[in-house]
């Protein structure tokens, strides 16, 4: 059987189990069992098929069995496992994927033996540390530390590549994580190992351990990592996890944990926020940083003292004039924008650190999940044991996730001492300021938990987006919407009205309108949600998603309850306009104008619709009305000029285009339109000069000019400009001009 055939049968069997087509699933799994040739798996398959046959027989005989659902769920669950076991068994012989490589490497090593070796290595490391007077110069300590870390990595690999996890290994693992026999960073790593394994194959035992760890641990780092991993696993394996009665019971018991619901909601929100990471990355990389860098020469000029020495930026506060200049230049706004994104939990540093994941450190899979601690050998080797204080400063940097802290330290190793010291001082100063700000606040346990969640999800995001072999794992972070509301075991918590409102607003803000609609639509059907504005929110999301018909459905529902809501009326008008129902749009804009008679935008929009209806005289009167309003400024001049042109009133058209040239900033379109008027007046030479001005404003883009000119061909023809002239004029405009000798 070829690899492609194995893959095809394995997937087909999984789909059959998903859809509860059990007999077909048995037939397909049977092929894999036969190919693998393992008697124990064949015996398990025979036993399951017999149980299913008896269940069907009892059903046919009309026997009532209250346990039938549970029995079927158990059969499906065991078939999933059997299908995966056969698949793994067939692929691990030759597959180059890291999962199978690790299984081949560690197949003969028991979990207990690796744990014991690791604990022994930690004892030896402790003894060497105690016996060494000068730790900063001790190569013996570094060597022992690296041995312990190698066993730590081996422990991680054994756990994630074990499938299915045996009862004995599960017991050992729970003892390691819930007890205090291993360092806390290792216990966190073991949780991640369970998760990485679950991103290959669903294993109920591993998932139940994650939930149990959350319930049993009193360490927030361990608790929240376990819950985050459990939730992402349920998202990646929706159907399999929905079958688990044991998991449902475990979650029901967890509802009594005081922080459980809030932790779930915070994880939901941060997962939703992670969907916007690429947008944040591009914004930082293409907008914030380039704009600040463009201003850099000006900053240097402004901040030089009389001796032409650069003044420390920390001295800016001493000179209000400098601060005013920074405000006017836009730097302050950019920095505030960056800080605001940082505070709300956006992943602002991924643009900076994504290219720093090429160090050998990140070739090791487990290191992507390792909590940062200064005594790691990679940190000591790069910074030197004598610079441990710098690593401790990095450890307390509040906005860096663990992965980025390692990247930061590894990159510092290549810097000269002077630059390293400067960066250390700046980071320490920032940490101290943040610490002082936090000290002034009351202790907030919930904020601390949110910070842990944010950092860990950022670590996960980097793994799923940047790890060299990431494609060998279920891309759970690419899951559209990262929607936990569809995960049945947690749905009683994840479908809370408050969090759905929060998620809907977050998705909408970031432009994920379909996801916003999904959240708001769930709110609509809830008995305890009585806010009529939910119809507006759904309508607005549909409108921004480019679905005006659906938007109107919800705006109308709100209109039945609030007939004179100006906001709703305007948006209904816009939707009617978008679907081409201009008469209805005009009616609604008139209603909106009656409520807000001084609104210039409404008056202008009514004029635009009249113009779209070819009611040019009526549109012109509407534009004159807008021009007389106090806040109109120059907004009505362009439509007045264009309407005058359409009505053959060339003198008034030129008058208004001249006003725009004199008192406003003319656009390429303004100059193009002015050229049209001059052309229709028979002033061809002046028209060509005006067209050339338009071309200049288009940065000399000849194709763009020709396209814009051609778009007005019908209007020019109606005003007497022949097709021949229309063909010649662009050439006359775009031809190189000769200067007199």
Alpha helices per DSSP H over 613-701 = 616-627, 637-646, 650-663, 668-680, 684-697
Q: Which pTM does this prediction carry?
A: 0.84
Supply the pLDDT for residue 431. 56
Instruction: Note the pLDDT tens digit of each residue in 250-269.
Output: 999 999 999 999 999 999 99
For Cα atoms 164, 169, 172, give the angle at the middle one, nearest 5 degrees: 150
For residue 127, how far is the Cα from the chain centroid? Answer: 46
Q: Is the pLDDT of residue 393 over 70?
A: yes
Closest CA to 390 of 408, 414, 367, 402: 408
Q: Is the pLDDT of residue 671 over 80?
A: yes
Q: Is the pLDDT of residue 441 over 60?
A: no
Supply the pLDDT for residue 736. 78
Closest CA to 590 of 606, 607, 574, 566: 606
Instruction: Note the pLDDT tens digit of each residue in 178-205.
Output: 998 999 999 999 999 999 999 999 999 9
The residue-averaged pLDDT of 2-30 equals 96
Q: Is the pLDDT of residue 325 over 60?
A: no
Q: Is the pLDDT of residue 311 over 50?
A: no
Q: Is the pLDDT of residue 464 over 70?
A: yes
Contact present, 641 and 657 (Cβ < 8 Å): yes
- The tokens of 155 are what? 């422990």
Provide the pLDDT confidence category of residue 133 given band limits of 50, 70 and 90: low
The residue-averaged pLDDT of 660-681 equals 95
User: How far apart are alpha carbons 656 and 642 in whole angstroms?
Assistant: 9
Closest CA to 157 of 100, 117, 84, 239: 100
Greater confidence (17 vs 354) lies with: 17
User: How far apart are alpha carbons 438 and 68 in whole angstroms?
Assistant: 56
Which stretch, 61-65, 483-487, 679-683, has highest mean pLDDT?
679-683
Half-sphere CA count of 422, side-chain side, radius 13 A: 6
Instruction: Note the pLDDT tens digit of each residue in 199-248.
Output: 999 999 999 999 999 999 999 999 999 999 999 999 999 999 988 889 99
Greater confidence (349 vs 240) lies with: 240
The residue-averaged pLDDT of 301-313 equals 42
The residue-averaged pLDDT of 533-544 equals 95
Q: Is the pLDDT of residue 312 over 60?
A: no
Instruction: Note the pLDDT tens digit of each residue in 492-517.
Output: 899 999 999 999 999 999 999 999 99
Phi then psi for 685, rounded to 5 degrees? -65, -45
Residue 252 Cα distances to 219, 227, 738, angstroms: 21, 14, 85
Supply the pLDDT for residue 283. 76
Close Cβ partners of 674 (under 8 Å, ≥ 6 residues apart): 641, 654, 657, 661, 666, 690
Cα dihedral 41→44→50→56 (10° resolution): -100
Provide the pLDDT confidence category of residue 313 given band limits of 50, 70 and 90: very low
Supply the pLDDT for residue 93. 87
With residue 571 as reference, give the H or E element that holds it: helix 566-578
The residue-averaged pLDDT of 396-400 equals 83
Supply the pLDDT for residue 255. 94
Supply the pLDDT for residue 25. 97
Supply the pLDDT for residue 317. 46
User: How far apart are alpha carbons 329 and 322 in whole angstroms?
Assistant: 10
- Residue 310's beta-bridge partner residues? 304
User: How far apart are alpha carbons 500 and 505 in whole angstroms?
Assistant: 8
Q: Is the pLDDT of residue 478 over 60?
A: yes
Q: Is the pLDDT of residue 303 over 60?
A: no
Supply the pLDDT for residue 413. 72
Where do the structural domains in the chain lie, given as residue ranges?
3-91, 107-257, 277-462, 666-741
Closest CA to 152 of 180, 123, 189, 125: 189
| pLDDT above 70 coverage of the chain, percent | 87
Instruction: Note the pLDDT tens digit of each residue in 138-163.
Output: 678 889 999 999 999 999 999 999 99
pLDDT, the chain, mean: 88
Supply the pLDDT for residue 349. 83
Helix (DSSP H) and strand (DSSP E) numbers for the chain: 41, 0
Close Cβ partners of 226 (under 8 Å, ≥ 6 residues apart): 191, 210, 211, 213, 214, 217
User: How far apart are alpha carbons 32 and 37 in whole angstroms?
Assistant: 9
Closest CA to 296 of 310, 307, 280: 310
Provide the pLDDT confidence category of residue 307 given band limits of 50, 70 and 90: very low
Supply the pLDDT for residue 292. 57
User: How far apart are alpha carbons 363 and 469 in whole angstroms?
Assistant: 9
Provide the pLDDT confidence category of residue 554 given band limits of 50, 70 and 90: very high
Q: Is the pLDDT of residue 437 over 50?
A: yes
Q: Is the pLDDT of residue 740 over 60?
A: no
Contact present, 151 and 116 (Cβ < 8 Å): no
Q: Is the pLDDT of residue 310 over 80?
A: no
Greater confidence (480 vs 247) lies with: 247
Supply the pLDDT for residue 316. 45
């Amino acid at each position: 059987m070829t690899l492609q055939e194995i893959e095809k049968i394995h997937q087909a069997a999984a789909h059959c189990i998903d859809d509860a087509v059990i007999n077909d699933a048995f037939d397909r799994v049977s092929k894999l069992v036969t190919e693998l040739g393992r008697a124990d798996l064949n015996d398990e398959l025979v036993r399951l098929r017999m149980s299913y046959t008896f269940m069907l027989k009892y059903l046919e005989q009309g026997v009532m069995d209250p346990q039938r659902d549970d029995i079927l769920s158990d059969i499906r669950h065991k078939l999933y496992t059997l299908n995966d076991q056969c698949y793994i068994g067939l692929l691990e012989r030759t597959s180059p994927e890291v999962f199978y490589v690790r299984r081949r490497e560690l197949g003969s090593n028991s979990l207990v033996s690796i744990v014991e070796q690791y604990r022994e290595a930690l004892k030896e490391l402790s003894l060497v540390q105690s016996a060494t007077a000068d730790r900063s110069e001790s190569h013996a300590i570094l060597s022992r530390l690296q041995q312990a870390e190698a066993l730590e990595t081996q422990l991680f690999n054994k756990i994630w590549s074990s499938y299915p996890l045996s009862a004995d290994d599960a017991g050992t693992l729970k003892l390691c994580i819930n007890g205090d026999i291993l360092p806390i960073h290792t216990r966190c790593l073991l949780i991640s190992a369970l998760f990485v394994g679950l991103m290959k194959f669903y294993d109920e035992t591993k998932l139940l351990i994650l939930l149990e760890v959350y319930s049993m641990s009193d360490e927030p780092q361990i608790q929240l990592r376990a819950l985050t991993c459990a939730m992402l696993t349920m998202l990646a394996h929706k159907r399999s996890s929905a079958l688990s009665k044991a998991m449902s019971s475990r979650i029901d018991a967890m509802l009594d944990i005081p922080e459980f619901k809030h932790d779930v909601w915070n994880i939901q929100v941060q997962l939703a926020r992670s969907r916007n990471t690429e947008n944040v990355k591009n914004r930082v990389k293409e907008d914030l940083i380039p704009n600040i860098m463009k201003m850099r020469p000006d900053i240097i000029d402004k901040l030089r003292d009389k001796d032409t020495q650069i003044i420390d930026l920390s001295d800016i506060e001493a000179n209000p004039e400098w601060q005013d200049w920074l405000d006017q230049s836009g730097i302050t706004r950019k920095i505030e924008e960056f800080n605001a994104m940082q505070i709300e939990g956006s992943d602002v540093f991924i643009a900076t650190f994504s290219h720093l994941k090429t160090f050998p450190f990140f070739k090791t899979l487990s290191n992507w999940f390792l909590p940062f601690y200064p005594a790691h050998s990679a940190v000591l080797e790069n910074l030197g044991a004598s610079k441990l204080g710098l690593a401790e400063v990095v450890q307390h940097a509040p906005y860096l996730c663990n992965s980025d802290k390692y990247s930061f330290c590894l990159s510092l190793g290549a810097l000269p001492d002077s630059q390293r010291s400067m960066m250390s001082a700046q980071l320490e100063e920032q940490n101290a300021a943040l610490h002082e700000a936090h000290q002034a606040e009351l202790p907030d346990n919930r904020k601390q938990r949110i910070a842990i969640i944010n950092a860990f999800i950022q670590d996960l995001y980097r793994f799923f987006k940047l790890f060299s072999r990431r494609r060998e794992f279920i891309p759970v972070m690419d899951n559209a919407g990262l929607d936990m509301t569809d995960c049945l075991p947690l749905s009683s918590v994840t479908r809370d009205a408050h969090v759905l409102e929060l998620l809907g607003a977050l998705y909408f803000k970031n432009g994920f309108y379909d996801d916003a609609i999904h959240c708001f639509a769930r709110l609509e059907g809830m008995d305890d949600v009585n806010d009529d504005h939910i119809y507006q929110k759904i309508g607005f999301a549909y409108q921004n998603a480019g679905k005006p018909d659906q938007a109107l459905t919800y705006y109308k529902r709100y209109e039945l309850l609030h007939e004179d809501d100006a906001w709703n009326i305007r948006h209904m008008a816009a939707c009617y306009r978008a679907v081409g129902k201009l008469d209805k749009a005009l009616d609604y804009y008139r209603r909106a104008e009656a409520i807000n008679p001084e609104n210039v935008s409404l008056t202008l929009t009514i004029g635009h619709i009249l113009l779209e209806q070819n009611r040019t005289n009526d549109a012109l009167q509407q534009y004159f009305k807008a021009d007389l309003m106090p806040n109109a400024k120059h907004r009505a001049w362009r439509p007045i000029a264009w309407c005058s042109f359409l009505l053959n009133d060339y003198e008034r058209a030129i008058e208004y285009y001249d006003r725009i040239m004199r008192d406003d900033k003319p656009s390429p379109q303004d100059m193009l339109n002015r050229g049209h008027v001059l052309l229709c007046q028979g002033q061809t030479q002046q028209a060509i000069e005006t067209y050339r001005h338009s071309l200049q404003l288009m940065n000399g883009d000849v194709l763009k000019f020709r396209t814009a000119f051609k778009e007005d061909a019908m209007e020019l023809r109606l005003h007497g400009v022949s097709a021949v002239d229309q063909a010649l004029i662009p050439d006359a405009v775009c031809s190189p001009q000769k200067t007199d000798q």
